[in-house]
């Protein structure tokens, strides 16, 4: 058994690594997200700059002996630079110290989010640099604020807001609310509609039942891309484009996979239960509502979870049907956030992505027993 458990643990670590890397990247500063070799643990570096112990951003290593000093004339006046040792005699350069090879340029981190290494600079030996593990939880509120279209300069107060009117009120809380509405209404429709249809296929006898069920299953072979244009035309004629209706209303008309799953589950329930209820005078609807549905909770939970995962992660639907930023879901808002800023701020993108997928992880964590039972159970005992 030990090799089996070792293989399972190794597989779990392997498959969870991308999620762990995403979270750790969300907790790093920008300069540590794309370094090579990759830096796994977020760190903060400290060194003495101009007599002060401050957090610094690491610069390049000095490759050969140089001179460190300050430019005192010209367009770069006031800046500190590395130059060759011969430049000490230059009247436009104020020499500060000689720098041997192997030392490192460091820059005070400063307060600006848009320019983290914009403070005072110095060159220090490697042993003078201290490192500590530091998780930058502040990346998360910054990332969520930027999802609404605000830039780092706006958050720092150094630039006026470019959003106005309706777009100014579009942010993470609104995107989250839109996504929850789509998911909840879609889940209700998926569970209710598919359960009714599956019950008709599984427990009722009527002419053409099996043939119609075969046609229903055959619809699973139709590629989704084939249906995009016709569905768009239908929703446009109904006046639904630009609203959330196209994202959740179709769930109330059933889907072949969910119908098949519930039908197979209903067929495993003993017929004697329904027959006894009919003898007692129960209507077919009451048998369905009061007897079959309570016994089918695991299967219904599987349908609900599948549709919730689909609706939460759906990107193509919102991209096709949503035209107003105030109606965006999280998936579409996350994509717009990635494309609206010049240069990807990876730590903020990963932070926004982590917050977006967190509800899915929490939901599956609490619903995994019901989910597994719904997949594995036979629906009845004895």
Report helix, strand or coil for 147. Answer: coil
Tens of pLDDT, residues 210-250? 999 999 999 999 998 899 999 999 999 999 999 999 999 99
Residue 342 above 60 pLDDT? no
Cα→Cα distances 153→18, 31, 39, 350, Å: 31, 18, 27, 20
Residue 240: the pLDDT is 95
Residue 378 above 50 pLDDT? no
Cα→Cα distances 269→139, 198, 266, 285, Å: 51, 13, 5, 16
Cα→Cα distances 329→314, 318, 322, 333, 381, Å: 9, 7, 9, 6, 43
- Cβ proximity of 110 and 118 under 8 Å: yes
DSSP assignment of 278-295 equals HHTT--HHHIIIIIIHHH
Tokens matching residue 130: 């201290």
- Cβ proximity of 306 and 258 under 8 Å: yes
54 Cβ contact list (under 8 Å, min separation 6): 46, 47, 48, 108, 109, 119
Cα→Cα distances 174→168, 192, 317, 351, 353, Å: 11, 27, 18, 18, 16
Q: C-alpha angle 223/228/233, rounded to 5°?
A: 145
Tens of pLDDT, residues 47-75? 988 888 999 999 889 888 888 888 887 77
The burial of 43, by beta-carbon neighbours within 10 Å (0-12 exposed, 13-18 middle, 19 or more buried), is given as: middle
For the beta carbon of residue 168, count every other beta carbon within 10 angstroms: 13
For the beta carbon of residue 199, count every other beta carbon within 10 angstroms: 22
Tens of pLDDT, residues 83-113? 888 777 777 788 888 889 889 999 998 777 7
pTM of the prediction? 0.83
Residue 79: the pLDDT is 82
How far apart, in whole angstroms, are the C-alpha atoms of residue 297 and residue 275?
21
The domain covering 167-376 belongs, at the CATH homologous superfamily level, to MetI-like (1.10.3720.10)
The closest alpha carbon to 110, from 55, 151, 43, belongs to: 55
The closest alpha carbon to 59, from 134, 122, 127, belongs to: 122
Q: At what angle do helices 172-203 and 297-313 cross, to 10 degrees?
A: 140
Compute the chain's Rg from CA coordinates: 30
Tokens matching residue 1: 């058994």
Cα→Cα distances 344→126, 336, 340, 341, Å: 30, 12, 9, 7
Q: How many residues does the chain have?
A: 382
Mean pLDDT of 263-269: 91
SS3 of the chain: helix, strand, coil, percent, to 5: 60, 10, 30
Q: What percent of the chain has pLDDT over 70?
A: 92
Q: C-alpha angle 159/165/166, rounded to 5°?
A: 115
- Residue 119, by phi and psi: left (phi above 0), alpha (psi -120 to 50) or beta? beta
Domain boundaries, the chain: 1-40, 41-151, 167-376
Residue 375: the pLDDT is 63
Which 8-state DSSP code applies to residue 45?
E
Which of the two residues, 35 and 140, has the higher pLDDT score?
A: 140
Residue 382: the pLDDT is 38
How far apart, in whole angstroms, are the C-alpha atoms of residue 264 and residue 267?
5
């Amino acid at each position: 058994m030990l090799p089996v458990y070792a293989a399972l643990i190794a597989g779990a670590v392997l498959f969870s690594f991308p999620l762990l890397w995403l979270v750790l990247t969300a907790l790093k500063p920008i300069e540590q997200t794309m370094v090579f070799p990759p830096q796994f643990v977020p760190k903060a570096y400290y060194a003495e700059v101009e007599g002060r112990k401050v957090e610094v951003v690491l610069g390049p290593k000095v490759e050969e002996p140089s001179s460190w000093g300050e430019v005192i004339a010209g367009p770069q006046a006031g800046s500190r630079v590395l130059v060759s040792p011969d430049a000490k005699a230059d009247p436009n350069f104020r020499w500060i110290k000689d720098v041997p090879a192997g030392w490192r340029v460091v820059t005070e981190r400063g307060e600006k989010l848009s320019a983290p290494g914009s403070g005072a600079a110095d060159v220090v030996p490697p042993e003078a640099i201290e490192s500590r593990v530091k998780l930058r939880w502040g990346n998360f509120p910054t990332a969520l604020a930027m999802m609404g279209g605000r830039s780092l300069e706006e958050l720092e107060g150094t630039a006026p807001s470019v959003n106005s009117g309706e777009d100014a009120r579009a942010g993470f809380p609104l995107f989250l609310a839109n996504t929850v509405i789509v998911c909840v209404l879609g889940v209700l429709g998926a569970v209710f509609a598919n359960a009714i249809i599956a019950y008709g296929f599984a427990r009722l006898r009527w002419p053409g039942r099996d043939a119609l069920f075969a046609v229903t299953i055959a619809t699973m072979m139709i590629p989704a891309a084939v249906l995009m244009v016709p569905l768009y035309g239908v929703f446009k004629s109904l006046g639904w484009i630009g609203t959330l209706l196209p994202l959740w209303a179709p769930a109330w008309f059933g889907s072949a996979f969910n119908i098949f799953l519930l039908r197979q589950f209903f067929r495993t329930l003993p017929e004697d239960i329904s027959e006894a209820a009919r003898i007692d005078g129960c209507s077919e609807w009451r048998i369905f509502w009061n007897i079959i549905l309570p016994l089918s909770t695991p299967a219904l939970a599987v349908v609900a979870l599948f549709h919730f995962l689909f609706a939460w992660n759906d990107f193509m639907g919102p991209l096709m049907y949503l035209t107003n930023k105030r109606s965006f879901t999280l998936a579409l808002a996350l994509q717009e956030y990635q494309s609206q800023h010049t240069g990807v701020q990876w730590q903020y993108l990963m932070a926004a992505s982590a917050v977006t997928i967190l509800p899915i992880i929490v939901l599956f964590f609490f619903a995994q027993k019901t989910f597994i039972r719904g997949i594995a159970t036979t629906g009845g005992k004895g």
